[in-house]
Structure 1
Amino acid sequence: MSKFRYCLIILIPCILLSGCDSQQPEQMLETYSNRLANSLDIDSELNLSQPLQLPPYPRRRERIIPVTDLRQGLVEVLNLRHCQLLNLIAERNSSLGKVMQPSKRMVYEIRLYSGLRRCLKTLNSNDADINLIQQVQAIFVVKESEFEAALWNGIFTSEAIERNFSLSEPALPLEGDNGFSLSRQALNALNQVAKLTNTQDQWSEPDSLEQLEIHYQSLYNNRYGSRWLRSISLIRRTLEHSTAVIEQRLEQRPLCYQQQTTPKARIVINIFNKYYAGQLQPYMARIDREGKQWLELNRNLLHNFSSIPQPMQKYHNLILATDAPHWISYIQARDRHTRAWQTLLRQCNLMPGSS
């Protein structure tokens, strides 16, 4: 093998790896903050490799709400043939039905609840056997009282939802599809299901139950929420570090005297244009815009339920609420960083619109 060909084989993977690395949000953020520090003669290096300082999502046993698992005897099940529920209950009592995933269990509960409502209406209008009516009524009363809990468990004990609050996923990419669109569609679908808890007087079985598994799969595969949590945390830490750098320089000595732009100031404005305005701001704007929608969808999902386990309510207050510390600290870091840049640029007569 020629020396040239050998070098080419070595060089190509290095180029490809370099291209991949340049797309990592951590590298973009560290480059911006560290170049800013160097341009301002401040010895301070940003390292984003530390673990996320966020509360963990409550464990499954802290999220689940106990419900009654009705197991009808053979004679009772045969009686329910009048309700056309025999196949549905048989499926639930099968070996596979006993280990249903939360999402499939929720669909079963919705269909059973819908079938029992329909059956009672039919039996009462046809003057059916009173014992049969009482049997169906007794089952329906239990299912009605626990219907909200069944929906809660189907949504909030699923692995798909859990994965969207993991602390181990990477940050969202700088460009391209980040899974937000599919995740938004999935959360909208779950919100429609959750609204069934508030429409029992005019209740009807949703037409889209068959599509729910697709939405759960989208949430599981994209894990947008988990990746968004990391991204917003990385941005906040970058902004806080970079703001401290600017403020330290402003306290030490002016970058410009009497608003006279210096060669040093032009280096700083190049950092501003290339790395802050050119890279960080577009990424931050997308994370901000999509994150607001994602937070609102998750808040709406929780607000459909009147009974929320205490660990979940606490997590909501810390992460999802409009005044959650996690979100507020990001907003504060963003606004403080903007003010720091404005002060620095005014000092050098470099604010947009300045002569």
Structure 2
Amino acid sequence: MKISLLLVNTLLVATLSGCFGTDPAVENFSDYQQRLANVLDTEPLPLHDAVVIALPRKRELALPVEDVRMGLLDAYELRECGLFQLVADRNSILGKVQDAFRQLDYEVKLLSTLERCLDLIEDPTLTVTLKDVQAQKQRQINTVYWNTFTTSEAWRKQLAPSGSAMVSPDAPLPHSDALLAIGAFSKVLHSPPADIDIIAMQEPIEKQRYLGALFYSMDESTRWLNTITQQLERDDGRVICGENRDKTRLNYLRNVFDKFFVGDVQPYLAKINGLYLDVQPALEALNRQLPGTSAFLPYGEAYLGGAHYQDFQQSIKNHVGYWQSLFKRCQLEVGNTLKK
């Protein structure tokens, strides 16, 4: 009994899609790849290895911060300028168990309060003590900032994907509060204390998952595109141009390009690109000021430094470049649908 080619192709697409679950973005890439294989009468190329870089564990990233002791805290001047109360609150029962965001908030306020006190006090001994404390705390602030970014539960939830699903093609551009909080956090060390609210940043960073999902979607898009481009290059000899061209095959191939790449895949790539560009200034600011560790370097270079974004852009350029060269070789007009 003969089974129609259409039925076989339909079963192949359904089987391949089923291997990847019901992730809409994956289904778009998978469907596009399978349709190309169908037209050129080949098999889909196995997907390249994943390029996602996992966030290192807390214990690999946390940096030590030494306690700084302050004498003469009962001095009247320190009560007047607010330092006594600030330190007392920090040393209370609740203050000793505060989380990373509150610890960073305290350190930023402490530096600001020390500066204010030094402008007000006149006692030479107290001035020497406070200047020494200020110098030590100024040296530590980047480390406290780093520890908040890499070891707090809020930031770790933000930086890690919530699962193995890519950003949905149909979802609206998400998480404006998280985007604002990420941008604000990147400016903490360079903004006047009165202009920042570190505690208010914690909730959107923790609850609105933006970066992890974006990084995962960007990497997976790169993986799919590179695989499909390699498949097209492998099968390029099956596309005959010139006098012996197969007009039916060329027409089908052009239809797959229009419907599945231009119609589905390219808008998704543009969405991922836009999401990254929205947060890129904050990522670059974080990358410049974080002290870093060797364990964090691969993750930091890939996502904060933009190396994987460049890979993503290059995968798009290579894929579009293949189609441009093919249509030029076969003298097909493509209008303005191709974009690098």
> Would you call these one fold, judging by a TM-score over 0.5?
yes
**Structure 1 residue 327: deviation in Å?**
3.3
Among 67, 70, 79, which residue is 1:69 paired with?
67
Match of 1:172 in 2: 167
1:159 aligns with 2:145: no
Match of 1:205 in 2: 193
Contact 1:42 1:245 in 2 (8 A): no
Q: CA RMSD in A?
A: 3.0
CA distance in 1, matches of 2:315, 2:132: 57
Task: Report Cα offsets for 1:46-73 as digits up to 9, x if no partner.
Answer: 569x8x4333223323333322324557
CA distance in 2, matches of 1:142, 1:237: 46
CA distance in 2, matches of 1:148, 1:284: 35
**Structure 1 residue 38: deviation in Å?**
1.1
Contact 1:193 1:206 in 2 (8 A): no
Match of 2:324 in 1: 342
Match of 1:145 in 2: 139
CA distance in 2, matches of 1:141, 1:349: 70
User: Residues 108 and 77 (structure 1 numbering): CA distance in 2 closer, same or farther, change over 3 Å?
Assistant: farther
Match of 2:44 in 1: 44
Higher mean Cα deviation, 90-99 or 59-68?
59-68
User: Residues 37 and 194 (structure 1 numbering): CA distance in 2 closer, same or farther, change over 3 Å?
Assistant: farther
Contact 2:61 2:296 in 1 (8 A): yes
CA distance in 1, matches of 2:23, 2:53: 28
Among 276, 284, 291, which residue is 2:269 paired with?
284
Task: Report Cα offsets for 1:140-161 as digits up to 9, x if no partner.
Answer: 2322332333333333432332
1:1-355 maps to which residues of 2 (within 5 A)? Answer: 24-44=24-44, 52-70=50-68, 76-77=73-74, 80-124=78-122, 129-167=123-161, 169=163, 170-179=165-174, 181-195=176-190, 204-209=192-197, 212-251=198-237, 253-258=238-243, 262-305=247-290, 307-322=291-306, 324=307, 326-353=308-335
Contact 1:255 1:347 in 2 (8 A): no
CA distance in 2, matches of 1:239, 1:137: 57
Where 2:43 maps in the other structure, the secondary structure is: coil
Unaligned runs of 5+ residues in structure 2 are 1-17
Contact 2:23 2:166 in 1 (8 A): no
Where 1:112 maps in the other structure, the secondary structure is: helix
User: Residues 261 and 22 (structure 1 numbering): CA distance in 2 closer, same or farther, change over 3 Å?
Assistant: farther
Task: Report Cα offsets for 1:87-138 as digits up to 9, x if no partner.
Answer: 32222112221121111111111111111110111013xxxx4444344334
Matched to 1:38, the amino acid is N
User: Residues 187 and 167 (structure 1 numbering): CA distance in 2 closer, same or farther, change over 3 Å?
Assistant: closer
CA distance in 2, matches of 1:179, 1:245: 33
TM-score by length of 2: 0.80
Matched to 2:176, the amino acid is S
**How many residues were matched structurally?**
315
CA distance in 1, matches of 2:142, 2:232: 52
Higher mean Cα deviation, 146-155 or 277-286?
146-155
Where 1:57 maps in the other structure, the secondary structure is: coil
Contact 2:222 2:311 in 1 (8 A): yes
TM-score by length of 1: 0.77
Match of 1:201 in 2: none
Matched to 1:342, the amino acid is Q
Match of 2:15 in 1: none
